Structure 1
Amino acid sequence: MLNHDEALAVRPLTLAWVSQHLEVGERIIRSEALHGGITAQMRRLAIGTRDGGTRDLVLRTFVNTEHAEDWLNREAGALTQLAGSGVPAPGLVAVDPTAAHCEYPSLLMTHLAGRTVLDDEGLETRVPLLARQLVAIHALRPAERPRDYVAWTTADSVVTPKGADAAAWAAAIDVIRKPAPPYEGRFLHRDFQPGNVLFDVLSPARITGVVDWAQTSWGPADLDVAHCATNLALLHGPVWGLRFVEAYEDAGGVLAAAASERLYWLVRDGLACSEEVGLVAQPWRDAGKTDLTTRAVEQRLDAYVTALMDTLG
């Protein structure tokens, strides 16, 4: 049985809904909060099986329901399409996108072994692995395309960090005032970054899972590459953002041919982070990267945007 605190964490209607999707004779025996999510609450549920063993499921719950139905439907669709694809994604068990059965919109999925790795140590090995995994995702050709990507910022909503290189930021903002370059559409994760990739606990040289498919989209490969590059730059320093772009091409990925087109996508994602630096960095601090204060991340973002303009501008 769940203890009192755990029963409060997983609401009664949600517990009943989860129980309906278990095998005969199975029961929920334990609940544990998972950290790292920004938009949803995540819990690992230990399920007692009929033979006396256990298996784990993951419950994703949106308490803030503004985008919940859209995101949960997209994630459910993506997980269904990814089954058997070779991409290590969770398996869909059930989804309640409108909270017809649960207290809040929820999705139940299988649990993947592994852990996120945010340390600087071993980065030389992990970056090529991340790049190869993203190339594999972009190679997917689903029977039904997800909806087209949505840009996460505009030139007028960018927040220039205090003390930033004003000339570089003004030039970067001018870049995204232009129309988006033409592109060949690809299946995008749309939030592919170290916080959503699991590595083997015993051998960090192997990816065991890619999670959080709630914003799956159709768009340019450059956009997914840019998002991971920005996150690597903020986590580990600007040079790692640029290295990821190289690693993606080394892994066989194809990006925009013109430097101006690459710059557009890279800058667009970097500037999007300017609006929510504190929110982006909070899960990293929760995971132990206490040096990544909002100010430190702002400084890295400034250095990264400046490096992009110096390199490709």
Structure 2
Amino acid sequence: MTDHDEAATVRPLTLAWVNRHLEVGERIVRTVALHGGITAEMRRLTIGGRDGGTRDLVLRTFVDVEHAEDWLNREAGTLTLLTETGVPAPGLVAVDATAAHCEYPSLLMTHLAGRTVLGDEGLDTRVPLLARQLVAIHALRPAERPREYVALTTADTVVTPRGADAAAWAAAIDVIRGPAPPYEGRFLHRDFHPGNVLFDDVVSPSPAGPRIAGVVDWVQTSWGPADLDVAHCSTNLALLHGPAWGLRFAEAYEEAGGELASVVSERLYWQVRDPLAFSEEVQWVAQSWREAGRAELTTRAVEERLDAYVTTLMDALG
């Protein structure tokens, strides 16, 4: 087994657990750490077979994460559910949510071809694809609903960036002090954004351009308002590419047939709640994007875009 860096090394108990879930004659021939995540260690395992061929699996490990058992059980259930749908997602191989066999809670799944694309080039083509994919996810109606969504911030935990528009942020914080608006429940990914969407690497001769090859990271699957998923992807796009793209994604979602809150004040509640939640973890988000190749996205740069986006939302919807 070839380890390209220390982060790629699979711990002994986990390695033994993975080996028990391989086919007869298979072995791990290569491990590579996958970067860009915040809460989990991710590794791609190349598996060699007796015939000389290879296949790839992905190992997710949560180290000292409070909700690891819940998240991994939820992801395992969701991956099983998605095999019967048209939503492209990894296949479940095995899960050890309580670390009964591994050093830490872990999940083993199939590897999807494709790559995340976080650069500005081609964004006008990718945004409608992202929107259509999210509409398809929200259209799922499982026999057993996932748990109700959990809000990621409160009015009292928001961290206003230094130098931010104080009036806009105060108004935004006041918006989420009130109760959540009524909503029609939908099946939510709950962490849908460009970093969790894989695009194929095949250059398409069609004018349609690229296609989505997979959607990953289903640990926070929930039931709640479509606006919440849209707001999360919108915020990511605004911070990666500029505030206008946050607004554009909401438009693209509706153009794709998705339905958002019809009352402006209700839409504002969901749209502003997500960037306010980002205020508490800007440093970690910026770091993950730099590791993924966006070196210019320093913590300060992301803070400035976050401020600009909150201000834009309050001007547009407030």
Q: What TM-score, normalized to structure 2?
A: 0.96
CA 1:7/1:207 → structure 2, altered by over 3 Å: closer, same or farther? closer
Moved over 6 A (4+): 4-8
Map residues 182-221 of structure 1 onto 2, 5 A cutoff: 182-203=182-203, 205-221=210-226
The answer as to whether partners of 1:161 and 1:302 remain within 8 angstroms in 2 is yes
Map residues 13-24 of structure 1 onto 2, 5 A cutoff: 13-24=13-24
The letter of the residue matching 1:82 is L
Map residues 226-265 of structure 1 onto 2, 5 A cutoff: 226-265=231-270
The answer as to whether partners of 2:43 and 2:58 remain within 8 angstroms in 1 is yes
- Find the counterpart in structure 2 of residue 282 from structure 1: 287
| Deviation string, structure 1 residues 185-236 (Cα, Å, up to 9, x no partner) | 0000000000000001133611001000011100000000000000000000
The answer as to whether partners of 1:90 and 1:109 remain within 8 angstroms in 2 is yes
Q: Which of the numbers 264, 269, 275 marks the counterpart of 1:270?
A: 275
Larger displacement relative to structure 2 (231-240 or 21-30):
21-30
Kindly state the Cα deviation for residue 84 of structure 1 after the two structures are TM-superposed. 2.4
- Find the counterpart in structure 2 of residue 94 from structure 1: 94
The letter of the residue matching 1:57 is L
Larger displacement relative to structure 2 (37-46 or 23-32):
23-32
- Find the counterpart in structure 2 of residue 311 from structure 1: 316
CA 1:275/1:3 → structure 2, altered by over 3 Å: closer, same or farther? closer
- Find the counterpart in structure 2 of residue 139 from structure 1: 139
The answer as to whether partners of 1:94 and 1:108 remain within 8 angstroms in 2 is yes
Map residues 74-113 of structure 1 onto 2, 5 A cutoff: 74-113=74-113
Larger displacement relative to structure 2 (170-179 or 4-13):
4-13
Q: What TM-score, normalized to structure 1?
A: 0.97
Could you say what secondary structure the match of 1:275 adopts? coil
| Deviation string, structure 1 residues 260-305 (Cα, Å, up to 9, x no partner) | 1110000000100011111111111111111111111111111100
Could you say what secondary structure the match of 2:268 adopts? helix
The answer as to whether partners of 1:65 and 1:104 remain within 8 angstroms in 2 is no
CA 1:8/1:303 → structure 2, altered by over 3 Å: closer, same or farther? closer
Whole-angstrom CA distance in 1 between matches of 2:237 and 2:46: 32
CA 1:139/1:53 → structure 2, altered by over 3 Å: closer, same or farther? same
Kindly state the Cα deviation for residue 66 of structure 1 after the two structures are TM-superposed. 1.5
The letter of the residue matching 1:236 is H
Q: Which runs of 5 or more residues in structure 1 are unaligned?
A: none
The letter of the residue matching 1:277 is V
Kindly state the Cα deviation for residue 65 of structure 1 after the two structures are TM-superposed. 3.3
1:32 aligns to 2:32 (yes or no): yes
Kindly state the Cα deviation for residue 64 of structure 1 after the two structures are TM-superposed. 1.8
Whole-angstrom CA distance in 2 between matches of 1:92 and 1:218: 21
Kindly state the Cα deviation for residue 7 of structure 1 after the two structures are TM-superposed. 10
| Deviation string, structure 1 residues 38-88 (Cα, Å, up to 9, x no partner) | 100000001111321000000001112321101101111110111120101
Whole-angstrom CA distance in 1 between matches of 2:231 and 2:292: 23
Whole-angstrom CA distance in 2 between matches of 1:158 and 1:6: 36
The letter of the residue matching 1:62 is F
Could you say what secondary structure the match of 2:60 adopts? strand
Whole-angstrom CA distance in 1 between matches of 2:198 and 2:262: 31
Q: Which of the numbers 274, 279, 296 marks the counterpart of 2:301?
A: 296
Whole-angstrom CA distance in 1 between matches of 2:4 and 2:179: 55
The answer as to whether partners of 2:227 and 2:271 remain within 8 angstroms in 1 is yes
Larger displacement relative to structure 2 (187-196 or 277-286):
277-286
Whole-angstrom CA distance in 2 between matches of 1:4 and 1:304: 39
The answer as to whether partners of 2:131 and 2:256 remain within 8 angstroms in 1 is yes
Identical counterparts, % of pairs: 82
Whole-angstrom CA distance in 2 between matches of 1:32 and 1:8: 5
1:55 aligns to 2:55 (yes or no): yes
Could you say what secondary structure the match of 2:86 adopts? coil
The answer as to whether partners of 1:33 and 1:42 remain within 8 angstroms in 2 is yes
Could you say what secondary structure the match of 2:235 adopts? helix
Whole-angstrom CA distance in 2 between matches of 1:189 and 1:7: 28
Kindly state the Cα deviation for residue 3 of structure 1 after the two structures are TM-superposed. 5.8
- Find the counterpart in structure 1 of residue 159 from structure 2: 159
CA 1:8/1:36 → structure 2, altered by over 3 Å: closer, same or farther? closer
CA 1:4/1:310 → structure 2, altered by over 3 Å: closer, same or farther? closer
